[in-house]
Structure 1
């Protein structure tokens, strides 16, 4: 086990754009998910991707929330997706989403989706055709849908990052809940081997596992990060770093550190509890500049 700290980050730097870069070469992120119940989740994820340095942002969400989201995030292109009667993504959303994949370098799938979304059908459509130039982050309700798709995810050859919290990890691995307490490190490594993917098990401390690589441990950014929208921000940071060209393990580790340290800074300035998920966003560029 290796601690995730500034020494590790210095040894695994992020790719830096040249002075003559343009927005396309800085990477294109597509964030897909949301619902009529949680229409603002994609705003957090999308802005986090831009704050992490991605050049272009695309947001795909339920059609009845799409226009409002576009007004809220004027930097993004907006793509509508079919919805079901519950206001979640509909059965056809996965197939529609596949038509947008050629326009992105990194996909973040799942923020803001709920239990009534047809997560398995959406994920099955999205992972059906692996692409060597595209990476993915699977988040929220989409994670549990991966439980029966190990072969399909393995076919992406390590280009997928899974971001489960404890409840999602239990559903993903169909394991005894006690393992979260007794062996979180071993469980993260087992999941990484099963899916041949980067797995970060979130909690008071976060474990980052990658097949064939050492396990990383981040001690946590404090209890203030246990708030609505915080995980959406983390998924967006990782997606933005992937779009910039960071390797999946590097992007996941930097994402966890940036997210956690943003929480620490806000706890010092505002208080240990009560800061908002959206307040994490402004800390990301400053932390990147200081660490780089």
Structure 2
């Protein structure tokens, strides 16, 4: 199985859509992020800001009502949608009815950051996918992606507009393999799930693999243990969503996102130290790194 390495040459050959001079915020892409919970109310801040730092023009964030106001103050650039919660503080399944009318008005929908695995989460994700307008790019992260383990026909209905971003543990749940089996052959796990779901799969790790449903396979390796920290994956999901909203094809959005994420980690490792930098410190580096990579 041929696997291409994501490097400067690959990025040059697959440039991001240019932001036209004079483009308004709607033309730069509209992102809707749904997730979070009372236990992790700040996850959406990382994902939402990453989408804006990646160049998206408008952002809406949807989370449990108890966290919505404070999150809106923390990210004043975003519009907030307050959602009903379960007794445990997770988003309730009926929130899908609130979000459904808004999905068709966004260019990228990100679901899952800060959410936990539960039956209601499964129902919420199924409801959102049933309502989603196929032209929207959909990024499923964290608990939202494990919720589709038995929903392959629903995922495939969105054809090539779906991106799944599991780490090894989530891939184990998604694929039914053990985590050890995923770690032993992550390349095959990513490729198999991409074919099964008809989606782009970004399997995260020290060496990450991106697989497309057409058999395309990419890899990216970064030696940066500091990226193994809480919130790092939330930033990556936002990067994927922001680039998708700008018009990047799913495989290109995933590849550019994992590259920029790794570059930001390496830069912080030099400036701050190999471990101890925070996921939110990745965010201010994103625009300059994208600009530099686009000019190579």
Once residues 118 and 38 of structure 2 are traced to their aligned partners in structure 1, the CA distance between those partners, rounded to angstroms, is 12
- 1:93-152 Cα distance to aligned partner (Å, 9 max, x none): 222221221221100000011134722101111111453421110001111111000000
1:251-276 deviations in Å (ceiling 9; x for gaps): 01001101111001000111110000
Measured at CA, do residues 217 and 53 of structure 1 come closer, stay the same or move farther in structure 2, by a change above 3 Å? same
Q: Tell me the distance in 1 between the aligned counterparts of 2:152 and 2:200.
A: 13
Q: For each residue in 1:184-226, what CA deviation from the matched residue of structure 2 results, as whole angstroms up to 9, or x when unmatched?
A: 1011000000000000111111000001142111012511000
Match of 1:273? 275
Q: TM-score, normalised by structure 1?
A: 0.98
Match of 2:95 among 90, 93, 101: 93
- The aligned residue for residue 188 of structure 1 is 190
Could you say what the CA RMSD is over the residues aligned between the two structures, in angstroms? 1.1
Equivalent residues of 1:170, 1:177 under 8 A apart = yes
Question: CA offset at residue 91 of structure 1?
Answer: 2.2
Q: Which residue of 1 aligns with 2:105?
A: 103
After superposition, the Cα gap between the structure-2 partners of 1:235 and 1:146, relative to the gap in structure 1 and judged at 3 Å, is same
Which residue among 74, 78, 95 is the counterpart of 1:76?
A: 78
Kept in 1: contact 2:160–2:250 (CA 8 A): yes
The CA distance in 1 between the partners of 2:47 and 2:207, in whole Å, is 21
* Equivalent-residue separation in structure 2 for 1:262 and 1:70 (angstroms): 26
Structure 1 unmatched runs, 5+: none
Residue 9 (structure 1) aligned to one of 8, 11, 17:
11
Q: How far apart are the structure 1 equivalents of 2:205 and 2:27?
A: 34
Write out the 4+ residue segments of structure 1 that deviate beyond 3 Å after TM superposition: none
Which residue number corresponds to residue 144 of structure 1? 146
- For the residues of structure 2 that align with 1:147 and 1:92, how far apart are their CA atoms? 21
TM-score calculated relative to the size of structure 2:
0.96
| Unmatched runs of 5 consecutive residues or more in structure 2 | none
